[in-house]
């Protein structure tokens, strides 16, 4: 074999049609060949994996590109996100007050003051990321916000996406002081004894009514905001993701983002069940490898952090819940369910015969039972038991071993949320819930040992995209403070990495395309600065740095992508104004 000439990484973006990519080691996530040193790529797909010599046999004479990276892995997959709405939520003109940016309420107040000083009084102010537990105070009412914002229209979106707080000026601007709006299906407004709004809305339909006109007035560049969020995900090593709150009004934006040079993400779309026709077929100019409608999404309960998850066990009366305004008398419990069984059954009966992959948000144990009961009936009714349907449960905060075993029996996949444990774990164990339930929140080991297909996710703007931190959390059970709760719920590095690669691909029904470095799959890679199997697990996030990503055999050039996104914003604002910045509520 003659020694091929190496080209520099700088040339990689303009990679030829066929080439061989090398790295210190290639971690394939393919059990047939876990390690390699080279990958041959042709027309955007992987055509050989192995040694350089083995790759040269398949593509003789192909140029060899040394990635320069210590490790090459399949691009990470975040199988539950909301990239477009997360762009609106976290990027300008929205202002972030998320706990990882503003950890205390006094820091939030500083951001409020600065925003008031910097914007004309007639410009609405929009903030995202309030968290009652971590900010240590109840969700602000209109009265609370009026004390801060006076006569200004201002909205504060809960970090969970499940609630919004707003000022009296907003209530007046809609005429809601004279005529309070009715509660929409699947959503509600907080009211006083006379039925007047007190300035808090819950769940997407109500949040949308609050936010729609605000977003419309703010204008901004929704495509640019979404592109910034794409870039954030790419910098975390992600090459495939989903939108669990898709509706057809977002299609033009997704098409535009997919068509941009160096677009860094493939997106699988789940349409919200509250859409006009959630079961409608959808095709995209970008092609199925880039953009595909995969299923229909429904949220059975809400967020643990605002107290509207359906649990069989109570919230505790503690300093943390008192400060957050979570009343054990009303928080949690069976009434936190967003839908009746009849409503859910109707959605499943409409969507199951069309072949959609159903996905139910469910955090509390009662919500998980509810979702599994509904799934089991519909799967039996429509002849889907024993088939490869892969209906999903999302988050499963309080999920128990027996529930995961039942999910496995039904062929239901579970996508877990390590960030719930990482950021809130110290509060969950003994402050929010009794240790019996709280310590084992996000029971990674129970899920994996039950034999269910487990994936991990960041849930859009609910937590910063961070597959490596998710892996670290699932493997160590260390929270952000370094404490460990229910250490038996830790899983292996391999299981956690699978949950962000090959098993996450299964959750998207895309393992024939992505999730491992295997012949025939798309050439989507992440370059890492260290080997995640070699680094002590507690240092994974600190030491395993993402150096870059590849999508379809081209190294992603984020400056090129972002420049294109900001240069043109063909999506009229009406596209998102009706949806509003709901975070997602899922
Ligand atoms: Zn979500």
Locate 431 and state its tokens.
Answer: 């402050």
Q: Give the whole-angstrom CA distance, residue 507 versus residue 520.
A: 19
Q: How many domains does the chain have?
A: 3
Distance 518 CA to ligand 1 centre (A): 30
Q: In this predicted structure, what is the pLDDT of residue 15?
A: 63
Cα of 585 vs centre of ligand 1, distance in Å, is 6
Q: Is residue 404 part of a domain?
A: yes
* 198-221 exposure pattern, b = at least 16 Cβ within 10 A, e = fewer: ebbbbbbbbbbbbbbbbbebbebb
Do 427 and 502 fall into the same domain? Answer: yes
**CATH code (residue 37):** 2.30.40.10
296-317: pLDDT as tens digits: 999 899 899 989 999 999 999 9
Q: Could you tell me the distance, in angstroms and rounded to a whole number, from the CA of residue 85 to the centre of ligand 1?
A: 10
The range of the structural domain enclosing residue 359 comes to 223-567
Same domain? 215 vs 261: no
Buried-state track 418-440, b at ≥16 Cβ within 10 A, e below 16: bbbbbbbbbbbbbbbbeeebbbb
213, 228: one domain: no
- CB within 8 A of 14, min separation 6: which ones? none
* Residue 83 domain flag: no
- Give residue 129 CA to ligand 1 midpoint distance, Å: 14
Q: 90 CA to middle of ligand 1, Å?
A: 15
Ligand 1 centroid from CA 194, angstroms: 34
- Give the per-residue pLDDT at 14: 52
Q: Let me know how many helices (H) and strands (E) the chain has, helices first.
A: 22, 23
In a domain, residue 554? The reply is yes
- What confidence score (pLDDT) does residue 274 get? 84
157 close to 581: Cβ distance less than 8 angstroms: yes
Residues 192, 303, single domain; the answer is no
Neighbours of 477 (CB within 10 A): 26
Ligand 1 midpoint to CA 48 (Å): 36
Q: Last residue of a domain, which of 68, 102, 122?
A: 68
Q: What CATH number does the domain containing 254 carry? A: 3.20.20.140
- The pLDDT, as a whole number, for residue 569 is 60
| pLDDT at residue 266 in the model | 98
Shared domain for 214 and 227, answered yes or no, is: no
Distance 418 CA to ligand 1 centre (A): 13
Examine the domain organization and report whether 112 and 196 are in the same domain.
yes
Residues 381 and 523 in one domain: yes
- Quote the pLDDT of residue 574: 35
What is the reported pLDDT for 16?
77
CB-CB neighbours of 143 under 10 Å: 11
Cα torsion 485, 489, 491, 495: sign: negative
Q: At what angle do helices 558-567 and 222-235 cross, to 10 degrees?
A: 170
If asked whether residues 132 and 13 sit together in one domain, one would say: no
One domain for residues 235 and 204: no
Rounded Cα–Cα distance for residues 204 and 201 (Å): 9
Residue 76, in any domain of the structure: no
Residues 167 and 148 in one domain: yes
Residue 63 and residue 557 in contact, taking contact as beta carbons nearer than 8 Å:
no
- Residue ranges for the chain with pLDDT beneath 70: 1-15, 569-586
CA 459 to ligand 1 centroid distance, Å? 5
Ligand 1: centre distance to CA 162 (Å): 10
| Sign of the dihedral defined by the CA atoms of residues 105, 111, 117, 121, in that order | negative
Is residue 47 situated within a structural domain? yes
Whether 304 maps to a domain, the answer reads: yes
Q: Does the residue 1 lie in any domain?
A: no
Element housing 394 (H / E): strand 392-395
What pLDDT is recorded for position 475? Answer: 98
Is residue 412, in this structure, part of any structural domain at all? yes
Where among 186, 219, 252 does a domain terminate? Answer: 219
Distance 8 CA to ligand 1 centre (A): 40
Answer yes or no: do 311 and 177 share one domain.
no
Single residue among 34, 68, 102 that ends a domain in this structure: 68
Task: Give the distance (Å) from ligand 1 centre to CA of residue 285.
Answer: 26
Report the pLDDT value the prediction gives residue 584, as an integer from 0 to 100.
Answer: 45
CA of 460 to the centre of ligand 1 (A): 6
- Block residue for tokens 């409020």: 112
CATH number for the domain harbouring residue 186: 3.10.310.70
The rounded Å distance from CA 577 to ligand 1 centre is 20
Same domain for 535 and 512:
yes
Integer Rg of the chain from CA: 23
Evaluate the CA torsion angle 118, 122, 127, 132 in order and state its sign: positive
């Amino acid at each position: 074999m003659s020694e091929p000439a190496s080209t520099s990484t700088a040339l990689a973006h303009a990679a030829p049609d066929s080439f061989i990519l090398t790295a210190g080691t290639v971690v394939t996530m393919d059990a047939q060949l876990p390690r390699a040193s080279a990958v041959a790529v042709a027309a955007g797909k992987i055509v050989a994996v192995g040694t350089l010599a083995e790759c040269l046999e398949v593509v003789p004479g192909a140029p060899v590109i040394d990635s320069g990276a210590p490790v090459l892995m399949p691009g990470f997959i975040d199988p539950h996100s909301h990239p477009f709405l997360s762009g609106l939520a976290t990027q300008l003109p929205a202002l972030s007050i998320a706990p990882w940016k503003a950890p205390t309420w006094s820091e939030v107040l500083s951001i409020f003051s600065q925003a008031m000083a910097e914007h004309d009084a007639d410009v609405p102010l929009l903030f995202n990321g309030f968290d009652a537990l971590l900010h240590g105070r109840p969700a602000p009412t209109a009265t609370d916000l009026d004390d801060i914002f006076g006569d200004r229209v201002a909205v504060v979106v809960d970090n969970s996406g499940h609630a919004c707080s707003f000022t009296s000026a907003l209530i007046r601007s809609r005429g809601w002081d004279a005529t309070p709006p009715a509660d929409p299906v699947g959503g509600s407004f907080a009211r006083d004894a006379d039925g007047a709004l007190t300035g808090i809305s819950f769940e997407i339909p109500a949040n949308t009514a609050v936010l729609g006109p605000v977003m419309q007035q703010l204008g901004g560049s929704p495509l640019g905001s979404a592109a910034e969020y794409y870039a954030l995900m790419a910098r975390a090593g992600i090459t495939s993701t989903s939108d669990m709150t898709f509706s057809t009004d977002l299609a033009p934006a997704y098409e535009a983002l997919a068509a941009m040079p160096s677009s860094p993400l493939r997106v699988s779309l789940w349409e919200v069940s509250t859409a006009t026709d959630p079961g409608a077929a959808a095709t995209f100019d970008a092609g199925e490898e880039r953009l595909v409608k995969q299923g229909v999404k429904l949220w059975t309960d809400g967020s643990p952090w605002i107290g509207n998850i359906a649990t069989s066990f109570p919230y505790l009366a503690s300093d943390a819940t008192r400060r957050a305004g979570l009343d054990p008398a009303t928080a949690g419990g069976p009434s936190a369910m967003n839908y009746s069984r009849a409503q859910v059954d109707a959605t499943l009966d409409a969507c199951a015969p069309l072949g959609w992959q159903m996905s139910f948000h469910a955090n509390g144990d009662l919500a998980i039972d509810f979702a599994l009961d509904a799934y089991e009936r519909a799967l039996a009714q429509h002849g889907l038991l024993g088939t490869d349907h892969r209906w999903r449960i999302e988050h499963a905060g309080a999920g128990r071993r027996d529930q995961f075993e039942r999910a496995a029996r039904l062929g239901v996949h579970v996508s877990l949320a390590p960030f719930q444990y990482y950021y809130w774990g110290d509060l969950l164990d003994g402050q929010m819930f009794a240790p019996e339930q709280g310590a084992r929140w996000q029971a990674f080991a129970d899920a994996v040992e039950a034999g269910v297909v487990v994936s991990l996710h960041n849930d859009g703007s609910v937590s910063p995209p961070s597959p490596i931190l998710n892996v670290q959390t699932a493997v160590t059970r260390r929270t952000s403070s370094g404490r460990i709760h229910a250490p038996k719920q830790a899983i292996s590095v391999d299981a956690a990495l699978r949950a962000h690669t090959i098993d996450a691909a299964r959750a998207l029904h895309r393992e024939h395309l992505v999730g491992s470095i295997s012949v025939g799959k798309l050439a989507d890679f992440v370059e890492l600065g260290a080997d995640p199997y070699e680094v002590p697990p507690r240092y994974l996030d600190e030491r395993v740095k993402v150096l870059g990503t590849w999508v379809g055999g081209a190294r992603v050039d984020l400056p090129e992508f972002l420049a294109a996104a900001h240069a043109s914003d063909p999506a009229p604002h009406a596209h998102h104004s009706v949806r509003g910045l709901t975070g997602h509520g899922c």
